[in-house]
Amino acid sequence: MQLRSTVFVLFAALAGVWAGSASAVSILERAGNSFRTAANNQEFVLNKQNVNADQFGLLRTHDFDAKVEAQPLVIQGGAGADDLIIVATMKNQVIGISARTNQRLYEVDLGREADSADMDVWGHTPTWGIAATPVVDPATNTLYVAALVRKNANDNRFRDYKVFALNPMNGMQKAPPVRIFGQSQEGNGCWFNDADAVFTENGRTEQYVYPKLRAGLALTGNNGLVLAFAANGEMFQGGRKNPHGFVVAYDTRGLLGQAGFSREPGIFCATSFGGWGAGIWQAGGAPVTEGDMIYVATSNGTSNNGGVDLAESMVKLSFVPSSGGSRPLLQKIDWYKAFLDERTSGPGCLWQDNAAEVSCGRAGVDKAGSDWDFGSTSPMLVPGSSMLLQGTKDGIIYALNKNDLGQNDRFNKLMFRPPLVASYFGGDVNENWARANKLNASIPCPGSGDVDDGTRNWFLPCSDLRPENNRMHHIHALAFAKRDAGRGIVYVWGENAQLKSYNFFTQPDKLPTFRAQGTEIASDNLRSPGGMPGGLLAVSGRPGSVPGQPDALDFDSAIVWGVYAKYGDGNKSFADSQLIAYDAATILPGGKLRRLFRTGDDHRGGLGLMGKMIPPVVANGRVYVMIYRLEPGTDRVIGSQLKVYGLKS
């Protein structure tokens, strides 16, 4: 996989600019590695002994006049003697900051961002520019960024996504940007940024639908740059007006202007021309890549016709690079279809003899599906194994075999059965599955009590057995600490629940076992249906000592970090948040995790308003957390703030 490994990237020397060491790390992509484990096994400064309120705390802050929705990147030694922090904003700014001095080393503007009135359903984000985490290719010293820009700076009616290739050290463009445009390769009629998908109202003509890029960018091991798009708007509108999920991939050699390589993309449309939805947003998480393979998880939409419409699915693609100037290709290799958004509950869901099971859609084609979103987080590939994990809005972790995803067999091809009901209960896996099935026997929820009619398409347990006040338990992040070749710990912090940890095994049919959980509950002050997004996670520690396992963690030093919504809802409104650190391995009496540090218990949780889907970043003795910035004396969000934590002296 070129210079990118399954753990965080170490630099020896790159083009005479970046100098690395055996005790330093760079974080060049979302969740730190192409497997999306969110685990840094090269953290030699922070440990279980010094991460405490006396020695560890806030070092500095850096303010931005625009919202930040993308995870910061870290280049070890990129700012002279210290690390370079790269931040991209919704005003299409790319900013380089010295981690030590807090000085802005560069700031570049990639074009006029869009007015986001039709992009942001909750009205929180006045502009829409760079919402997806960029990626750095160390092989060519290139930062790839995708930005939504207006075609005409003074006209918000027509917009384009463009891909920029920048020098990460100074922000300078290495080649002209490329407009993302074209027809999918499945012969299904889908167009990305279709020029004919327009409507006219009161004499004003505008583009009808826009793809929405929230998932982080990714690199394949064979010169591919991968972008995965959600559908902006989730309903059947007919023909060219239908929203679709897309995967778009470029040959990086073409993007850099090398002769003989195309600058056109390969384009995969997740639904047919007459279908809709299957957006890929993954709570901001990037696709998993391994060699030339790409794994993405789609969300609600059309999903009832075999391998054609792939909403609520895991999709495996292969990137075929440009050759002789030809356009690169995205080949569909396999898929797993989890939910059917256009069926009712009853026989024929996961397996034929179960009429009250968890994973079966319950909405008609003219609506937004049951909004269960199989793709509510990015996939995660367990290093050194064939196990591909997916956390979903139903609070379940599915374990798939990357070599045989299962296609339309929703149950028998899973690597362990039943799948893990992860964010509801700690304890016996089979018992949890049975309880979850009983909880969902009455979906959709009736509009009564503290559940209003507007929530009935959400995943809500409605029976007398309902856990935790009938709140949602969607999963938006996973993290994995590898112990050895066959096992490790998975961490998950679902909505309105505690951080939970499970022992995971890579052997088929060996069920996970509950390990321990934290004490803090996300969105603890809200009644049903609760709040988003739960907790976003990272794991850090020294490398393990298991021979032949370079991505294993030393459990004696491992820490699991979380940023979570302490109070409030981080989706429809804003959530007061908290940064917390737990001992990743120690189990206290009562099955509790040992807390090492948390930011505070005031009305802001000691941290501030949670950045919606931005996990903490841990590198070289520092923890980087992005929050929303308020206008002084008000609750009006006017930008974002980067908070840097570390050892106080």
The least confident of 83-97, 468-482, 560-574 is: 468-482
On whether residue 332 sits in a domain, the answer given is no
On whether residue 53 sits in a domain, the answer given is yes
pLDDT in tens, 264-290: 999 999 998 888 889 999 999 999 999
| 540 lies in the same domain as 598 | yes
Q: pLDDT higher for 61 or 207? A: 61
Query: What local confidence, expressed as pLDDT, does residue 320 receive?
Result: 98
Whether pLDDT at 359 is above 80: no
| 645 lies in the same domain as 555 | yes
| 39 lies in the same domain as 170 | no
On whether residue 635 sits in a domain, the answer given is yes
Partners of 489 in beta bridges? 481, 503
Print the domain residue range for 569: 35-64+477-612+616-649
On whether residue 433 sits in a domain, the answer given is no
Alpha-carbon distance of 67 to 88, in angstroms, equals: 9
Write down the residue that tokens 């050895």 correspond to.
484
Q: Decide which of 179, 196, 228 is a domain's last residue.
A: 179
In the predicted model, what is the mean pLDDT of residues 13-17?
A: 37
Alpha-carbon distance of 535 to 492, in angstroms, equals: 8
Query: What local confidence, expressed as pLDDT, does residue 354 receive?
Result: 36
| 56 lies in the same domain as 173 | no
Sign of CA dihedral 492, 35, 277, 263: positive
- Quick one: how many helices (H) and strands (E) in the chain? 2, 43
pLDDT in tens, 370-396: 567 899 999 999 999 999 999 998 888
How many CB atoms neighbour CB 511 within 10 A? 18
| 547 lies in the same domain as 648 | yes
Query: What local confidence, expressed as pLDDT, does residue 22 receive?
Result: 57
User: Using an 8 Å Cβ cutoff, are 593 and 575 in contact?
Assistant: no
Alpha-carbon distance of 115 to 120, in angstroms, equals: 10
pLDDT in tens, 578-634: 999 999 999 999 999 999 999 987 767 799 999 989 999 999 999 999 999 988 877
| 498 lies in the same domain as 583 | yes
Query: What local confidence, expressed as pLDDT, does residue 459 receive?
Result: 36
Partners of 480 in beta bridges? 490
Q: Which residues, including other chains, have CB under 8 Å from residue 448's CB and lie 6 or more apart?
A: none
| 636 lies in the same domain as 503 | yes
On whether residue 205 sits in a domain, the answer given is no
On whether residue 565 sits in a domain, the answer given is yes
**Number of domains into which the chain is organized:** 2
Whether pLDDT at 122 is above 80: no
Q: pLDDT higher for 601 or 427? A: 427
| 108 lies in the same domain as 127 | yes
In the predicted model, what is the mean pLDDT of residues 342-368?
A: 41
Confidence bin at 357 (pLDDT 50/70/90):
very low
| 100 lies in the same domain as 54 | no
Percent of the residues in the chain that have a pLDDT greater than 90, as a whole number: 62
The CATH number for 71's domain is 2.40.10.480
Alpha carbon 357 to its chain's center: 27
- pTM attached to this predicted model: 0.91
| 600 lies in the same domain as 636 | yes
Q: Decide which of 145, 163, 179 is a domain's last residue.
A: 179
pLDDT in tens, 98-120: 999 999 999 999 999 998 877 77
Query: What local confidence, expressed as pLDDT, does residue 433 receive?
Result: 75
Q: Decide which of 120, 146, 179 is a domain's last residue.
A: 179
| 43 lies in the same domain as 87 | no
pLDDT in tens, 488-508: 999 999 999 999 999 999 999
The secondary structure element, H or E, covering residue 8 is none
By the 10 Å C-beta count (0-12 exposed, 13-18 middle, 19+ buried), 524 is classed as middle
Confidence bin at 550 (pLDDT 50/70/90):
very high
| 511 lies in the same domain as 620 | yes
On whether residue 14 sits in a domain, the answer given is no
On whether residue 510 sits in a domain, the answer given is yes
Confidence bin at 439 (pLDDT 50/70/90):
low
Query: What local confidence, expressed as pLDDT, does residue 444 receive?
Result: 37
Query: What local confidence, expressed as pLDDT, does residue 620 receive?
Result: 97
Sequential DSSP letters for 334-351: EEEE---TTS-SSTTSSS
